[in-house]
Structure 1
Amino acid sequence: MVPREMLEFPKGGILLLLTCLGGLVLGEVGEFSACPQFFYKSTPPKGLNTRRYQPICQRYKNQYRFASLYDRLHRTSLYSAYLLTHPEGKRPTNKWMFEPQLAYSHASPEMQRFPRQGPVSQNVIESQAVLQDYTNSTYTKGHLNPSLHHQIKDDRRATFTLTNIVPQRLGSNSGPWAVLESDVSTRLATFCTGPAYVITGTLPYLSGERWIKNRVAVPEYLWSAYCCPTYNASRPESLRLYFPSYAAVGRNDRDSGEEIVPVDPTAKASVRGYDVRRMALETLEEILQERQAVAVSLFHGQCHQHGG
């Protein structure tokens, strides 16, 4: 176990640390050029990247599994990008991992499991979220790239890295957001005849940031979008609006306003306030643009249509 005092330190210390570490990161952390296959037309989203974010090609068992844009200050990723494949089998056992290169500039590019016994390296603690951050918190470990959106077992296991995790309320994680993930998986597995590109990310609070243990920032909303440029043209009429792209935003705070996502007053009490609003890709990009104060394009050319 890591002592509590090792997990909590002033944000001023964080900023100093980030300044010191920012120029040391090499290898798979630092650019997406090693894993462009997870982005439509090999092009990462435009308008979301700044110097404070760190691109990570997430590597497990010597293969790239997905890509994440990591926020060092908030100790979560702004988004994860991946290729959805039809899932098979049970969810793998949780074996949580971390990104060594965030802690040590010349470390292995392979994500590594947290030690089963003994302390976690102070460099790891200072550079990213650790399991103790979530212990006794009121938040679950919310996947941006969900395990159940993958077929290959190692692809599914690779999603259990804390650089792919954000603090998510249980009512969202096991409620409307889980329904969205399931619907997207079924729809794309059934009607998408080519690669299915997915990007899932977060919207931080505009003011009054929330933190767990003064270390990991809590997002106000989660968002997700997919691009399926090649799909079955004979899909039902009711599903035509979902291709070639679609998106959604989900609430992670019951007390948030309803300007982005309205609340369904008839929902069950356990999930009320964690609603998900489904929308066109362009609508999501408008929301992101308003929050980021810069034009946002998630998929190059707005995901060109190639119905088959």
Structure 2
Amino acid sequence: MLLLLLLQVSASCLWLGRSEVVTSFESSCPQFFFRKTPPNEALEPESPAWICQRYNNQYYFATLYDRNRRIPVYSAYLYQPGPGKRPKTWLVEPQLMNSIYPKTMEREWTLLNHFNVSLEQLSKSQAILQDYKNLTGLNRGHLNPSSHHSDSNSRTATFTLTNIVPQDEKLNGGAWNNYEQQTMIRSTKGCNTTYVIVGAVPGNNYIAKGRVNKPSHIWSSACCEVDTNHRKAWAVIAENDKNKVQLLTLGELEDVLTHLYGRDQVSLFDSSCPRE
């Protein structure tokens, strides 16, 4: 058993850089947030995990994960769309189990066959592929969509189960898809850098025999740097049982989320990003 543990530690040390499950975004992967400022604590769940999403030894985005509900609270990334194929391989986060495991996302098969991990052990820490099988009226809804990235590795990195929620299939393929593919293109015209945070409000229903929460709402927000002195922002929210997206100002979304979460005032971006 000691030899196995040493082998696992040795394997994990092959991955250079900081751990993927980290203590804070500010100290590990702040580059995905406008002015290196993540959302405030008003969105944090009871059992949070801060994940700098690593694939092939590089960080591609950041996710605050809700360990209890087994869904992401939000994913933050830079909007850099480009042509490319939609990936097919689904990945999981080894370090949600323990820091001795690899710092990069892996396939379930790899963990089960090369790291002597049981499916039960993996399923205690996060959602697994089985949780999303045989869904009715729902599908795997990305928070950070692969189409908002420009190369194969960055697109593949979005295909981790820590970046998806059970989303209404009509919404995911309809109004939400229109926002991701059309509204974002129009809204980002003139932007040099666009910082995006997409999240999910926990709901009262679950899939997979109570294992994975079905969010009540899906939301998205963006802060765009036009130049050194000019910025613009926008946001949307959708109920997760209707094929409709509501366009809001950043300030309006923060107020809506403050009401839905029922905690402190929500702040998604640095204060220099316009709320009106």
Residues 182-193 of structure 1: matches in 2 within 5 Å?
182-188=181-187, 190-192=189-191
Deviation of residue 190 (structure 1)?
3.2
> Unaligned 5+ residue runs, structure 1?
1-25, 234-242, 254-272
CA distance, structure 2, for counterparts of residue 89 and residue 27 of structure 1 = 29
TM-score, scaled to structure 1: 0.75
> Structure 1, residues 174-200: CA drift from partner, whole Å, max 9, x if none?
0100001012431255321x2110000
What is the match of residue 227 of structure 1? Answer: 223
What is the match of residue 132 of structure 1? Answer: 130
Tell me if 1:162 matches 2:161.
yes
Letter in 2 for 1:216: V
Q: Give RMSD over aligned pairs.
A: 2.3
> Unaligned 5+ residue runs, structure 2?
1-17
Letter in 1 for 2:256: I
Change (3 A) 1:184 1:231: farther
Letter in 2 for 1:48: L
CA distance, structure 1, for counterparts of residue 53 and residue 176 of structure 2 = 23
Change (3 A) 1:60 1:184: farther
* Partner secondary structure for residue 191 of structure 1: coil
* Contact 1:231–1:244, Cα closer than 8 Å, also in 2: no
What is the match of residue 176 of structure 1? Answer: 175
CA distance, structure 2, for counterparts of residue 232 and residue 69 of structure 1 = 29
The match for 1:283 among 245, 248, 252 is 252
Deviation of residue 296 (structure 1)?
0.9
* Contact 1:191–1:232, Cα closer than 8 Å, also in 2: no
* Contact 2:45–2:66, Cα closer than 8 Å, also in 1: no
What is the match of residue 76 of structure 1? Answer: 71
CA distance, structure 2, for counterparts of residue 120 and residue 222 of structure 1 = 32
* Contact 2:250–2:274, Cα closer than 8 Å, also in 1: no
Residues 89-238 of structure 1: matches in 2 within 5 Å?
89-91=84-86, 93-115=87-109, 121-138=119-136, 139-188=138-187, 190-192=189-191, 194-205=192-203, 208-230=204-226
The match for 1:67 among 49, 62, 67 is 62
Deviation of residue 169 (structure 1)?
1.3
> Structure 1, residues 19-76: CA drift from partner, whole Å, max 9, x if none?
xxxxxxx932132121100001101101223552111000000100000000000001
Letter in 1 for 2:130: Q
* Contact 2:21–2:50, Cα closer than 8 Å, also in 1: yes
Letter in 1 for 2:238: G
Tell me if 1:247 matches 2:235.
yes
Change (3 A) 1:248 1:302: farther
TM-score, scaled to structure 2: 0.83
> Structure 1, residues 208-230: CA drift from partner, whole Å, max 9, x if none?
43333210000011000000022
Deviation of residue 290 (structure 1)?
1.0
CA distance, structure 2, for counterparts of residue 94 and residue 55 of structure 1 = 25
* Partner secondary structure for residue 39 of structure 2: coil
* Contact 1:56–1:69, Cα closer than 8 Å, also in 2: yes
Q: Which moved more, 1:284-293 or 1:49-58?
A: 49-58
* Contact 1:58–1:68, Cα closer than 8 Å, also in 2: yes
Change (3 A) 1:247 1:189: closer
Q: Which moved more, 1:59-68 or 1:82-91?
A: 82-91
* Contact 1:202–1:220, Cα closer than 8 Å, also in 2: yes
CA distance, structure 1, for counterparts of residue 48 and residue 210 of structure 2 = 19
CA distance, structure 2, for counterparts of residue 106 and residue 184 of structure 1 = 42
What is the match of residue 265 of structure 2? Answer: 295
How many positions carry a matched residue from both structures?
Answer: 248
Structure holding more strand per residue: 2
* Partner secondary structure for residue 243 of structure 2: coil
* Partner secondary structure for residue 300 of structure 1: coil
The match for 1:36 among 30, 52, 56 is 30
* Contact 1:149–1:185, Cα closer than 8 Å, also in 2: no
Deviation of residue 89 (structure 1)?
2.5
